[in-house]
Each structure stands twice: as C-alpha cells, then as structure tokens.
Amino acid sequence: MRLAALMFLISVALFANCAPPTCYSRILGLSKEIMDTLEKTHKYNRTKQCAEFLPKMFLDVHNSCIMAKLRDFLYIAENLPVEDCRVRPLMVRLKRKVRALYVIINRACFRDLVYLTDDCEALDTGYSRPRYTEDRLQLLEETD
C-alpha cells in the first residue's frame, strides 16, 4: 500500500512539471543558455581564439534592440575569418541557439514580448541606465 502511494505521489509530481513552456519562459531560458554557452567559449582553450572575433553580448529580452543585436551576432558568427572556428561544436551550438532565439522572438512570440527599454548600449556593456517614467519624473520634480 505504501509503495502504491509513493508511486502515485511521484507520478503526480512528474505530471505537474509537464506543462508546456510559455513563449516567454522559453525565451528567458534560451537567453540564459546562450549566455552560459558564450561564457564557455571565452573560457575553453579550443574556442578562446574564436571568441575573440565575437562581439560582446549581454542579452536582455526586454530590450527593444535585441533583434538587431542577435542578427549582427549571427552574421559575425557565421562568417568567422578562421574556418576552423566555424565548425567547432561549441561554436555551432552557440549559433544554433542564437538562431533559435531569433526565430522564436521574430515569428512565434513577437506580440508576447514587452520591451521595457531601448538602451542598445546595454546589450554591449551589460549596464543599463535607469529609465524614468513620467510618474518617477514627477516625484523627482516635486522633491526638488
């Protein structure tokens, strides 16, 4: 009886995690995977030389400049000057993930994503300037 109850609880727990990911959760997960893979390309000796050609990239899916950044990154990654870099497994995986993120944002989730900033420089530096909305500006003016 205990074994049956345990099996039931395990099966309920497994089915609870079977919900399909939303478009937004898939974008967030894929952008984190890309950042992790990009970090690995800069660390590993076999891909360090290849990573030197890639532009710096800090993905923020709430930045309206993300599509242009992904497109530029893909162009550079697919046209690396060193042929050996184009076929390295880690570089191929990175290109696939970036292309998948680009396609998902462009085709599947283009209406689901909310852009909170348009700071294109933040995708290069990783630092986003604070963005004041009208309410925040009004509070700042009242305190002066």
The DSSP line for 67-119 is HHHHHHHHHHHHT-SSHHHHH-HHHHHHHHHHHHHHHIIIIISTTT----B--
Mean pLDDT of 118-123: 78
Collapsed DSSP state (helix, strand, coil) of residue 34: helix
Residues of the chain with pLDDT > 70, as a percent, come to 76
Top pLDDT among 90 and 143 is at 90
Check pLDDT > 70 for residue 6.
no
For 65-86, the pLDDT digits (tens) are 899 999 999 999 999 998 898 8
User: How far, in Å, are 75, 76, 88, 120 from residue 49 at the CA level?
Assistant: 18, 14, 11, 26
Mean pLDDT of 86-93: 92
Strand partners for 120: none
| Residue 65: φ, ψ to 5° | -90, 0
For 26-53, the pLDDT digits (tens) are 899 999 999 999 999 999 998 899 899 9
